[in-house]
Amino acid sequence: MHDLLMIDGLQYSHWNEEIFRQMQAGGLSAVHATIAYHENARETLSRIGEWNRRFETWPELIRPVREASDIRLAHQEGRVGIFFGFQNCSPIEDDISLVEVFRQLGVLIMQLTYNNQSLLASGCYETEDNGISRFGRQVIREMNRVGMLIDMSHSAERSTLEAIELSSRPVIVSHANPSSFHAAKRNKSNAVLRGIAESGGLLGFSTYPFHLKGASGCTLESFCDMVASTAELMGVEHIGIGTDLCQQQPLQVLEWMRNGRWSKDKDYGEGSKDNANWPAPLQWFRDSRDFPVIAQGLRDRGFAEDEVRNIMGLNWLRLLENATTAQD
């Protein structure tokens, strides 16, 4: 068992034994696994069923995380805990009661929107940011009540700031970077980052090359400089890792993320056809086995050992322990 408790705040890989062994070899104690992008309620139930079969097939490698305390058990056992999240609100359809149903099924995190306008909020690719809708206000209240974390990773600025203001519990950005570091539409302004920290929430730094300065050529030193400057802005207790790893996924999966069922045209994300395929991986972070490389990079950048432990996993663990319990 690795001494360092490490958590990845977002992955959507082609789940198989090789991927799970990579996670275990890299020392991961838990991974936030996306189980829905554009799926409706029925389809999402099937995704949960698929995970149940994985837990049954590889019990020596992975275990379900229904409550945050299961992550500590996974760490002690040397297994990787898997906790579920949605990258969109589509699984709840137009039924607020499904928020609690999915939380009871182990879904700890839900984004209010994925790039586009949803029933709840505006996505970061919309021309107009309409903020949080009437339905969205009700869903935020219900998510707070049942202990489901609000994730604004793909949401627009006004919508994100309004969600922070409306939520009585921490709000997160599970996988993005500061826009001051790299001006991708998905990256977040200093105003949003300060708001996330003030809510008690967390930013998970993304290793997805299109979110980084220099794309696939971004160096470990540059990444750690970004972490250091963000720690000064937000406080080291409000940052973690959310790699956005999509290991072994075919192009069709990238197109499903972007196009779903809403478009007959190809959506190129940041607007460039250069962004039409998966980017080449970072040289220093190819898969989950390289998590210790990030930890050592932070040490080399001057972070103290307790700060490295917090960034690599303990900040995520404390947040999940405090924010995913049901309120009376």
pLDDT in tens, 99-128: 999 999 999 999 999 999 999 999 999 999
Q: Is the pLDDT of residue 274 over 60?
A: no
Question: 162-171 pLDDT, tens per residue?
Answer: 999 999 999 9
Average pLDDT, stretch 263-290?
80
| Amino acid 42: pLDDT | 98
| Amino acid 62: pLDDT | 98
| Amino acid 1: pLDDT | 44
Domain boundaries, the chain: 6-103+171-321
Between 261 and 235, the more confident residue is: 235
Average pLDDT, stretch 70-91?
98
Q: Is the pLDDT of residue 229 over 50?
A: yes
Q: Is the pLDDT of residue 306 over 70?
A: yes
Q: Is the pLDDT of residue 184 over 50?
A: yes
Between 257 and 247, the more confident residue is: 247
Question: Model-level pTM greater than 0.85?
Answer: yes
Average pLDDT, stretch 177-195?
97
| Amino acid 117: pLDDT | 96
Average pLDDT, stretch 1-20?
92
Q: Is the pLDDT of residue 268 over 50?
A: yes
Mean pLDDT of the chain: 95
Average pLDDT, stretch 53-65?
98
Superfamily of domain 6-103+171-321: Metal-dependent hydrolases (3.20.20.140)
Average pLDDT, stretch 138-154?
98
SS (H, E, C) the chain: CCCCCEEEEEECCCCCHHHHHHHHHCCEEEEEEEEECCCCHHHHHHHHHHHHHHHHHCCCCEEECCCCHHHHHHHHHCCEEEEEEECCCHHHCCCCHHHHHHHHCCEEEEECCCCCCCCCCCECCCCCCCCCCHHHHHHHHHHHHHCCEEECCCECHHHHHHHHHHCCCCEEEEEECECCCCCCCCCECHHHHHHHHHCCCCEEECCCHHHCCCHHHCCHHHHHHHHHHHHHHHCHHHEEECCCECCCCCHHHHHHHHHCCCCCCCCCCCCCHHHCCCCCCECCECCHHHHHHHHHHHHHHCCCHHHHHHHHHHHHHHHHHHHCCCCC
Between 251 and 23, the more confident residue is: 23
